[in-house]
């Protein structure tokens, strides 16, 4: 089955860039707050208020699930790239826009709703790529722990993110200005599971790559 593959390197690097920028903003706000140097104007009060969801939604998940899956998953499956390229790029764009919206305007519900839609696009791309690899290859190689970790983490997000999106939609339609941070507390447990699943696979893949590199480049005897 021939499908157009996404530019996995560009999309994966884009997710890692989003995670890096969000991490720098959140970490910088935390350092300034601890030092008592937090400005009381501009985007800094917003960063202080949304520090926890910023790290959770825009650092942990984009890096572990979206970024490294686009970079390493095709090779682990013996493919040229990810399937559904339009969905892959749409997910990256929506996640990036939601981060900008959350920081610049402080609009929590619209930003989180956009994040939910973007992440659903990303995890559907991951799952479609994994399932498609089993359909178009004659030789069915066993999945590595990295593939299993990304698949299970994406499945958990596919089941839990729509619930968060429904809550955000209800807040928007009702017109209430309820603080979204307490509503995200219930989302912390699924994210912890996602972090463990994807993190385990990532550690395995990093170790496997280091082992292959050491075999290709043995140290010269002294």
Enumerate the domain spans of the chain: 8-208
**What size, in residues, is the chain?**
222
Query: pLDDT averaged over consecutive 10-residue blocks of the chain (222 residues)?
Result: 60 95 84 74 69 83 93 88 91 94 78 94 95 75 89 94 89 71 74 87 83 65 44
Q: Please give the CATH superfamily to which domain 8-208 belongs.
A: Cytochrome c oxidase-like, subunit I domain (1.20.210.10)
Q: Is this model's pTM higher than 0.75 or not?
A: yes
- Give, as one character, the DSSP assignment of residue 138: S
Please give the full DSSP string across 24-59, using - where no structure is assigned: HHHHHHHHHHHHT---SSTTHHHHHHTHHHHHIIII
Q: Tell me, what's the pLDDT at 155?
A: 94
């Amino acid at each position: 089955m021939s499908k157009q593959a996404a530019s996995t390197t560009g999309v994966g690097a884009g997710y890692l860039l989003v995670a890096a920028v969000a991490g720098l903003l959140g970490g910088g706000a935390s350092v300034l707050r601890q030092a008592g140097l937090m400005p009381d104007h501009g985007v800094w009060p917003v960063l202080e208020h949304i520090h926890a969801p910023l790290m959770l939604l825009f650092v942990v998940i984009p890096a572990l699930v979206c970024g490294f899956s686009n970079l390493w998953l095709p090779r682990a499956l013996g493919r040229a790239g990810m399937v559904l390229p339009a969905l892959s790029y749409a997910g990256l764009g929506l996640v990036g826009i939601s981060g900008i919206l959350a920081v610049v305007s402080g609009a929590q519900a619209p930003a989180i709703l956009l994040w939910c839609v973007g992440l659903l696009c990303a995890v559907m791309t991951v799952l479609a790529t994994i399932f498609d690899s089993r359909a178009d290859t004659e030789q069915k190689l066993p999945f590595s722990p990295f593939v299993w970790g990304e698949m299970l983490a994406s499945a958990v997000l596919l089941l839990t993110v729509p619930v968060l999106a429904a809550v955000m939609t209800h807040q928007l339609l009702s017109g209430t200005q309820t603080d979204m941070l307490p509503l995200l507390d219930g989302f912390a447990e699924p994210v912890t599971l996602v972090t463990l699943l994807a993190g385990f696979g990532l550690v395995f893949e990093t170790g496997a790559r280091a082992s292959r590199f050491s075999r290709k480049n043995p140290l010269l005897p002294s």
